[in-house]
């Protein structure tokens, strides 16, 4: 039933009060940024205006009977005075004045809505690329780099072997294997949002646990999330890191501890982009929340200006324009790619980007990450306008500082290289991961893992960027590199193979088998040999699969063997070859 308030001021005050309450509820749910450059701000203002208009209209009546009564009163503003003349009907006159005031009050929010629409339209126009081609071109400062000098050859224990999908599968298996803590498994699950970082010099992907559902959140919210998953991208080991004190602030929380709401209340004017989960060198969980700014016109030139770091356990937060060095990901891949595409398309002006397209370039579909100098770089190929199956170069962009370098290397685009690698093992029906870019013998080389249908890595492939017909595969990275370098020599790309001179960091060790252990991993039987000898470190195990070295099943303690392996600091080293004497 509609309420009728004859006092316009009372109706306005009551309408404003109800609007404030409902608007606060909307703000709490939608958490818009109070910022003229944010589209969510204009939506919030329009919602407030609509709420006020609906509430004011409801409180003011408006029934059919009222309208009919108003029409009658309007016709009787002048009434007979009983003396043959006319007089003013004061009640009708007062009613008409109130109606005028009501229309005036309701027109204010209408004007505000119109101003919001105009602001958005004008803002979009003045931010258009047409009017600021140079500014858009300069969003990303790209230098030309020397590939052999900038991208040094990295050791095997630094090459990420997994992609995001494989990391997700390993994380789920690691969570499911925690049989000693059934409560943990039943109450939580692993988030699929993995962030690739460098942790203590190793490329890893990390992901927090999540509440399985809202009921389990209610039961466990006081303690928080008990830990996070770490997937080593080299060894393919996934483990759960359990914390002494749980993660209280996260994206899966509700109410005030929800990370997005917590950020909005602490930084009401900030616009935020990606929120990434990272851990510092001590293993403390943090949320790295990138701050988005618009640098061209009102809505154009989206860029990142620092980040807010939120301690997931305590909620302590601080904004940094220059983030600490341990942080690996501030700029997301989509922002970097959009900025490079502006840079590549506007190299000779806006008109040329549409018509002549002289010198116009764009990124290829897909990207990957590589660790260089304790930072994580995003890699993507670059192709010319209208190009189909080839790249004219590629870019590496630091995800913390946005330092970007372009390398002029023509060759196959990534998906052609993936097809070439899959074709080399087509009888096994393996699928290739999106490639990494490595320096092998000073040659730009696509490196990718070959996975089975269960997303498990089975083999490795290397494809020459300049000539994707040069494709090598192997069961280990060392074997793959050896075969690849031999193919480079055979095809006249290089004059000598580093593998032949053992410059791929392979070593040999001879001794007596002191201990043999075995384990079945992903359906393959692996043997771990510990040797004893004059120059042998008897604390190190050498691993080799029976699929690669069938005689491993008949090795016994006391056998004298020579093992070829890739050196490292780990206590388990991958063997490339075992010879029994």
Q: Which of 387, 409, 431 is the last residue of a domain?
A: 409
Does pLDDT of 200 surpass 90?
no
d(CA 57, CA 109): 12
Q: What are the tokens at 387?
A: 């190009």
Domain count, the chain: 5
**pLDDT tens digits, one per residue of 43-57:** 999 999 999 999 988
Same domain assignment for residues 172 and 227: yes
Kindly state the average pLDDT of the residues 243-263: 97
CATH number of the domain that residue 532 is part of: 2.40.50.140
For residues 171 and 310, state if they share a domain. Answer: yes
Mean pLDDT of the chain: 86
Task: Determine, yes or no, domain membership for 528.
Answer: yes
d(CA 417, CA 389): 10
Burial of 361 (0-12, 13-18, 19+ CB in 10 A): buried
Residue 137 counted as domain residue: no
pLDDT, position 96:
59
CA-CA-CA-CA torsion sign (291, 296, 302, 304): negative
H/E/C letters for each residue in 67-135? HHHHHHHHHCCEEECCCCCEEECHHHHHHHHHHHHHHHHHHHHHHHHHHHHHHHHHHHHHCCHHHCHHH
Which tokens is 106 given?
A: 């309701």
Q: Which residues pair with 269 in a beta bridge?
A: none
Instruction: Work out whether strand 317-320 and strand 225-232 pair parallel, antiparallel, or are unpaired.
Output: unpaired
d(CA 291, CA 297): 18
Q: Which residues are within 8 A (CB) of 525 and not within 5 positions of it... i.e. 6 or more apart?
A: 518, 519, 545, 546, 547, 553
Considering the domain architecture, whether residues 439 and 392 belong to the same structural domain is answered as: no
* Residue-wise pLDDT tens digits, 452-488: 988 888 899 999 999 999 999 998 888 898 899 999 9
- What is the C-alpha separation between 79 and 93, in angstroms, rounded? 11
- Tell me how far apart the 2 most distant CA atoms of the chain are, in Å: 137
Structural domain ending residue among the three candidates 409, 424, 440? 409
474/542 Cα distance (integer angstroms): 18
Q: How far is the C-alpha of 169 from the C-alpha of 158, rounded, in Å? A: 21
What are the structure tokens assigned to 84, written together? 């043959």
Torsion angles phi and psi, residue 517, rounded to 5 = -125, 155
**Phi, psi dihedrals of residue 82, rounded to the nearest 5°:** 85, -5
Query: 401 with 421, same domain?
Result: no
Cα atoms found within 13 Å of the Cα of residue 350, Cβ hemisphere only: 9
Residue whose tokens read 């780099």: 145
Position 568 scores a pLDDT of: 74
Token pair 């070439």 is at which residue? 420
Rounded CA gap, 112 and 298, in Å? 18
Please indicate, yes or no, whether residues 385 and 468 belong to a single structural domain of this protein: no
pLDDT of residue 501: 47
When pLDDT is averaged across residues 518-525 and rounded to a whole number, the result is 70
- Are both 391 and 418 inside the same structural domain? no
Residue 536 confidence (pLDDT): 82
Residue 274 contacts residue 280 (beta carbons within 8 Å):
no
Quick one: average pLDDT of 54-73? 61
Q: Which two tokens stand for residue 64?
A: 């059919």
Rounded-to-integer distance, Cα 89 and Cα 78, Å: 6
The answer on pLDDT for 442 being more than 90 is: no
* Model pLDDT, residue 395: 95
The rounded distance, in Å, linking the Cα atoms of 272 and 256 is 17
Q: How many residues does the chain have?
A: 581
* Residue 417, pLDDT score: 94
Average pLDDT over residues 177-189: 74
Distance between first and last Cα of the chain: 98
Q: Tens digit of pLDDT for each residue in 113-135?
A: 999 999 999 999 999 999 999 99
User: Is residue 65 scored above 50 in pLDDT?
Assistant: no
Confidence at residue 29, expressed as pLDDT on a 0 to 100 scale:
97
User: Which two structure tokens, joined as six digits, stand for 464?
Assistant: 């020459």
294 pLDDT tier (thresholds 50, 70, 90): very high
**∠ CA 467-162-550 to the nearest 5 degrees?**
85
Same domain, 258 and 313: yes
Specify if 116 maps to a domain.
yes
Q: Are 396 and 145 in contact (CB under 8 A)?
A: yes
For the cut 80, the answer to whether the pLDDT of residue 249 exceeds it is: yes
Last residue of a domain, one of 394, 409, 424: 409
Same domain, 358 and 300: no
Report the SS3 class of residue 306: strand
In a domain, 152, yes or no: no
Whether residue 4 is predicted with pLDDT greater than 60 in this model: the reply is: no
Say what the pLDDT of residue 545 is. Answer: 81
On whether both 33 and 94 belong to a single domain, the answer is yes
Q: Does 495 fall in a domain?
A: no
Q: What is the DSSP letter of 360?
A: -
Residue labelled with tokens 């047409």: 130
The residue segments making up the domain with residue 82 are 8-126
**pLDDT for position 209:** 95
pLDDT at residue 80 in the model: 61
Q: Is residue 136 part of a domain?
A: no
Residue 81, domain member (yes or no): yes
Q: Distance between CA 290 and CA 329 in Å, rounded?
A: 9
68 with 55: CB under 8 angstroms? no
Q: Does some domain include residue 344?
A: no
Round to whole Å and give the CA distance between 503 and 481: 11
Q: Are strands 541-545 and 572-580 parallel, antiparallel or unpaired?
A: parallel
Whether 115 and 22 map to the same domain: the answer is yes
| 428 and 401 share one domain | no
Average pLDDT over every residue of 58-62: 70
- Provide the pLDDT for residue 63: 45
What are the phi and psi torsion angles at 311 (to 5°)? -70, 120
Identify the CA nearest to 418 among candidates 398, 441, 434, 402.
Answer: 434
C-beta of residue 551 within 8 angstroms of C-beta of residue 573: no
Is the model's pLDDT at 69 over the cut of 50? no
Do 404 and 419 fall within a single domain? no
Predicted local distance difference test score (pLDDT) of residue 84: 56
pLDDT in tens, 346-396: 999 999 999 888 999 999 988 999 888 888 999 999 999 876 678 999 999
Q: Please report the pLDDT score of residue 498 as a whole number.
A: 52
Q: Which residue has the tokens 């590939």?
A: 147
C-alpha 141/C-alpha 160 separation (Å) is: 28
Residue showing tokens 């109706």: 11
| Secondary-structure breakdown of the chain: helix, strand, coil percentages, each rounded to the nearest 5 | 35, 35, 35
Decide if pLDDT at 88 tops 60: no
Q: pLDDT-derived band of residue 451, with 50, 70 and 90 as boundaries?
A: very high
Sign of CA dihedral 221, 223, 224, 227: negative
């Amino acid at each position: 039933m509609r309420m009728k308030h004859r006092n316009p001021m009372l109706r306005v005050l009551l309408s404003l009060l109800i609007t404030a309450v409902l608007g606060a509820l909307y703000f709490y749910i939608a958490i818009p940024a109070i910022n003229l450059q944010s589209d969510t701000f204009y939506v919030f203002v329009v919602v407030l205006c609509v709420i006020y208009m609906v509430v004011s209209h409801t409180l003011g009546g408006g029934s059919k009977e009222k309208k009919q009564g108003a029409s009658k009163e309007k016709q009787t503003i002048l009434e007979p005075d009983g003396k043959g003349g006319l007089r003013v009907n004061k009640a009708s006159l007062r009613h008409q004045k109130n109606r005028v005031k009501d229309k005036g009050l309701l027109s204010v929010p209408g004007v505000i809505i119109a101003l919001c629409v105009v602001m958005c339209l004008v803002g979009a126009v003045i931010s258009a690329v047409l009017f600021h081609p140079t500014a858009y071109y300069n969003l990303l400062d790209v230098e030309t780099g020397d590939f052999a000098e900038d991208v040094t050859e990295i050791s095997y224990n630094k090459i990420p072997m997994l992609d995001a999908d494989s990391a997700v599968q390993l994380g789920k298996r690691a969570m499911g294997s925690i049989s000693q803590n059934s409560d943990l498994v039943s109450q939580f699950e692993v988030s699929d949002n993995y962030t690739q970082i460098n942790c203590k010099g190793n490329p890893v992907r990390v992901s927090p646990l999540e509440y399985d559902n809202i009921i389990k959140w209610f039961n466990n919210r006081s303690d928080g999330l008990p830990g996070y998953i770490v997937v080593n991208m080299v060894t393919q080991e996934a483990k759960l890191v359990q914390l002494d004190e749980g993660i209280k602030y996260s994206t899966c929380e509700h109410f005030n501890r929800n990370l997005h709401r917590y950020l909005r209340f602490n930084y009401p004017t900030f616009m935020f982009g990606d929120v990434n989960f990272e851990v510092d060198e001590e293993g403390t969980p943090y949320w790295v929340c990138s701050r988005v700014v618009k640098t061209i016109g009102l809505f154009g030139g989206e860029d990142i200006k620092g980040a807010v770091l939120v301690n997931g356990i305590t909620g302590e937060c601080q904004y940094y324009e220059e983030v600490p060095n341990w942080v690996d990901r501030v700029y997301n891949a989509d922002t970097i790619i959009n900025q490079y595409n502006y840079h590549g398309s506007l190299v000779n002006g806006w008109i040329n980007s549409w018509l002549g397209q002289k010198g116009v370039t764009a990124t290829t579909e897909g990207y990957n990450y590589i660790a260089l100098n304790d930072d994580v770089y995003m890699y993507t190929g670059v192709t010319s306008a209208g190009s189909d199956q080839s790249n004219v170069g590629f870019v590496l962009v630091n995800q913390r500082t946005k330092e970007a370098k372009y390398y002029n290397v023509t060759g196959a685009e990534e998906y052609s290289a993936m097809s070439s690698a899959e074709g080399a093992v087509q009888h096994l029906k393996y699928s290739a991961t999106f490639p990494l870019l490595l320096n092998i013998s000073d040659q730009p080389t696509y490196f990718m893992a070959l996975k089975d249908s269960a997303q498990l890595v089975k083999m490795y492939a290397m494809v020459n960027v300049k000539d994707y017909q040069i494709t090598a595969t192997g069961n280990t990275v060392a074997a793959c590199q050896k075969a690849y370098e031999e193919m480079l020599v055979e095809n006249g790309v290089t004059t000598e193979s580093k593998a032949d001179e053992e410059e791929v960091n392979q070593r040999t060790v001879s001794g007596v088998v002191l201990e043999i252990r075995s384990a079945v991993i992903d359906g393959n039987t692996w043997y771990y040999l510990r040797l004893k000898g004059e120059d042998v470190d008897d604390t190190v195990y050498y691993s080799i699969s029976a699929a690669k070295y069938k005689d491993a099943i008949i090795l016994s303690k006391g056998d004298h063997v020579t093992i070829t392996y890739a050196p490292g600091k780990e206590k388990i080293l991958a063997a490339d070859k075992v010879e029994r004497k």
